[in-house]
Structure 1
């Protein structure tokens, strides 16, 4: 019983990390897309560029399709978080895939919080895996 409660808690931590990651990074996505669509550059928030200026720009310039791709990953992480909270096995799989995709953007845009949330999500999903699919008690 105690191990089951711990696994459910691990899934809750994973779900929270996924939702915070998806919402936190996704909320700022429209700002640089709108700026680039108007012909402007990447805007800054609190002195930091919104999804630009990272090491990815050495290979690919920050563009609207790139930012929309990151937005899609943020939506996937949010959906994965909701599904993991509900202990759906598909949510755990989506979480692992979306964290792997998100890692490319976290590195590319130099987003230091992303990897921390990603590690919490992956560790929580893997630790709570046996509790997936079980009804809530």
Structure 2
């Protein structure tokens, strides 16, 4: 058998069957544990890669998303869901909505001031 031709998983499978606490050296047992740990850790980048491909993200896209995070990924994702639910799927629409809200708030403040002045005038006129 040519071990060099086998995948890492195949080599580990063979090592697990051949290793034995009584006949294997402590070094062999320890090396197997460490190799297993390294291979478990190496699966994480694959998960990131698969998730990125699943969302059609490039390395640049991931970097841009990372730079734009607001108080972590979970918070940013929640904000994006709220914006999408409200119909804001492009930045221009959100900017227009925020601008309208700002103008309405200013108008409401102006109306409150006018009503307050009218109330003062009517109080003074009846007094």
TM-score, normalised with respect to structure 1: 0.25
- Structure ranking higher in helix proportion: 2
Structure of higher CA gyration radius: 2
Structure of greater relative contact order (alpha carbons < 8 Å, 6+ residues apart):
1
Give the TM-score normalised by structure 2: 0.26
